[in-house]
């Protein structure tokens, strides 16, 4: 869920409490405040599991406490693996590399963080791939290994403990 609430002390607790009361399990909370932006509202993303049939009462409770629900969606891609790629990533079309993973239908590039020291120097990127199962993440990593061989990237993996 992506929620919008007043940026004041105690608001996050007021959102987490109803999830707990219905027997929900909170998996993650993303709560980032940009100090350069002055606002009285805050966006918060909450990934949670809730019992079947409890969504409508939860939404009613959020409305009652003044929390706007901006988006609700089912998160199906829960398994993540990160690797480091080193090479001429831009010159060999990093978009093509990303599209190769995203077009599988069973995995996608979730995050990408790149460092480019100089135009003719190799760049490096941390790439995170996510999928619905470890088997599918491993299939996507196999595809990425093939791409890395073709494009002459060094691949360092995995960054997580498996």
> Which CATH number does the domain housing residue 33 bear?
3.30.70.260
Burial-class residue 3 by CB neighbours within 10 Å (0-12, 13-18, 19+): buried
pLDDT tens-digit readout, 90-105 = 888 899 999 999 988 8
pLDDT value at residue 77: 53
Domain C-terminal end among 44, 71, 98: 71
Structural domain count, the chain:
2
Residue 162 scores a pLDDT above 70: no
Are 88 and 123 in contact by the 8 Å Cβ rule? The answer is yes
> Nearest 5°: phi and psi at 136?
-75, -35
Q: Is the pTM of this model over 0.75?
A: no
Over the stretch 37-77, which tens digit does the pLDDT of each residue have? 667 888 888 888 888 888 889 999 999 998 988 878 755 55
Share of the chain above pLDDT 70, in %: 91
Q: Does one domain contain both 40 and 56? A: yes
List pLDDT tens digits, range 75-91: 555 688 999 999 998 88
Position 141 pLDDT exceeds 90: yes
Of residues 1, 85, 2, 82, the one with CA closest to residue 41: 2
- State the chain's mean pLDDT as an integer: 86
Cα separation, 82 vs 87, whole angstroms: 17
Q: Are residues 8 and 57 in the same domain?
A: yes
**Residue 161 located in a structural domain:** no
Q: Looking at the structure, do residues 66 and 95 belong to the same domain, yes or no? A: no
Q: Could you tell me if 152 and 84 lie in one domain?
A: yes
Provide the domain limits for residue 145. Answer: 79-156
């Amino acid at each position: 869920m992506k929620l919008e609430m007043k940026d004041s002390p105690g608001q996050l607790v007021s959102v987490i409490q109803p999830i707990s009361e219905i027997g929900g399990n909170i998996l993650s909370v993303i709560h980032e405040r940009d100090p350069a932006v002055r606002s009285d509202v805050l966006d918060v993303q909450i990934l949670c599991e809730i019992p079947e049939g409890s969504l409508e009462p939860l939404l009613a409770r959020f409305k009652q406490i003044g929390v706007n629900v901006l988006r609700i969606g089912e998160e199906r891609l829960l398994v993540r693996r990160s690797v480091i790629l080193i090479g001429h990533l831009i010159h060999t079309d990093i978009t093509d590399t990303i599209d190769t993973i995203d077009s599988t239908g069973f995995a996608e590039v979730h995050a990408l963080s790149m460092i480019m020291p100089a135009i003719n120097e190799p760049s490096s990127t941390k790439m995170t791939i996510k999928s619905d199962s470890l088997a599918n993440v491993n299939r996507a990593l196999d595809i990425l290994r093939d791409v890395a061989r073709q494009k002459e990237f060094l691949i360092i993996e995995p960054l997580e403990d498996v």
